[in-house]
Amino acid sequence: MSISAKALPETALPLGEVVDLDRYPIDRLDTPEAMALVARCRAQLNDDGCVVLDGFIRPDALERLEAETGHLGPHAHYNSTVTNIYNSDGDPSLPEDHPVNIFNERTNGFVAGDMIPDGTLIRSLYENRAFQAFIAAAMEEPELHEYADPLAGLVVNCLKPGCQHPWHYDSNDFIVTMMTRAPEAGGTFEYCPQIREAGNENIEAVNAVLAGDRAPVRALDLKPGDLQIFYGRLSLHRVARVEGERDRHTVIFGYAREPGFIGRAARTRKLFGRVAPIHEREERNGLKRTDTLQD
């Protein structure tokens, strides 16, 4: 289902023409400069589960990245629905004010990975071994693996004016993202660092945030070309409503600690409007999580 790349450059660029390797020497992780960078990332991730590397992408490459997601954006699957923070059905056996029974409007779009052509900068960066090795080092992981999920591995998230992605958790432990187009206003990324943990949904604190408590909420002024690593499995987060006339585009690089990661079929249908055969097989076989947390 790949989109024609005719309107896009057909060749990838060397890593040094895409990433500012002077500031972020991800191609030489054994140097003192890279070790200091990795240590800084690890400290921030341990502190609140989020690190942002501003100006990660060189300006010329950023123009091409914006053009790529601008070309792909019109092909995004949009849906307008209501969802709770777990992207699940409600539970009538629980109180009405339980988070599982609190629903908010979600209106955003996703370009699935199988629609992103080879030769695009976003795909070449996603598949770049030095980039993957740096992300793994920053997270203190021996290695990372590209998703086996053909839809969710590499994704462009698109929010038109008026769209939002309300409070939610991610189905995977972490997420790597990069904004390529900023809206005129709104679209702020907000999160509650590690508000839950395995075996503890921390319902009281989560309910307070859903009711408007801003005490645990942090907001990020993300800019195009910034690289973000975020532990979204434990940290409640959202993208506020986009305002103005300009879309908000963000590339999502999907990696997993173990090979073979596949998203749940039900959630995949919600996000992309369809599933792949591999999702249907996993749905029949029963996909299991190991952390006992709600999706």
How confident is the model over 214-259, as pLDDT tens digits? 999 999 989 999 999 999 999 999 999 999 999 999 999 999 999 9
Could you tell me which residue, 284 or 104, shows the higher pLDDT? Answer: 104
Q: Measure the CA dihedral 93/98/99/103, to 10°.
A: 80
Neighbouring C-beta atoms of residue 109, cutoff 10 Å: 22
Given a cut of 70, whether residue 24 has pLDDT beyond it is yes
How sure is the predictor about 9, in pLDDT bands with cuts at 50, 70 and 90? low
Given a cut of 50, whether residue 5 has pLDDT beyond it is no
Of 103, 253, 90, 249, the residue nearest 170 (C-alpha): 253
Report the C-alpha gap between 147 and 171 in whole angstroms.
13
Q: What is the mean pLDDT of residues 58-73?
A: 95
Given a cut of 90, whether residue 129 has pLDDT beyond it is yes
What is the architecture, at CATH level 2, of domain 15-285?
Answer: Sandwich (2.60)
Ramachandran region, residue 50 (left: φ > 0; alpha: ψ -120 to 50; beta: rest): beta
Given a cut of 90, whether residue 22 has pLDDT beyond it is yes
149-203 pLDDT per residue, tens = 999 999 999 999 999 999 999 877 899 999 999 999 999 999 999 999 999 999 9
Could you tell me which residue, 260 or 39, shows the higher pLDDT? Answer: 39
Given a cut of 70, whether residue 294 has pLDDT beyond it is no
Stated pTM of the model: 0.89
How sure is the predictor about 58, in pLDDT bands with cuts at 50, 70 and 90? very high
Report the C-alpha gap between 294 and 124 in whole angstroms.
33
Given a cut of 60, whether residue 205 has pLDDT beyond it is yes
Cβ atoms of 230 and 194 closer than 8 Å: no
One-letter-per-residue 3-state SS of 211-237: CCCCCCCEEECCCCCCEEEECCCCCEE
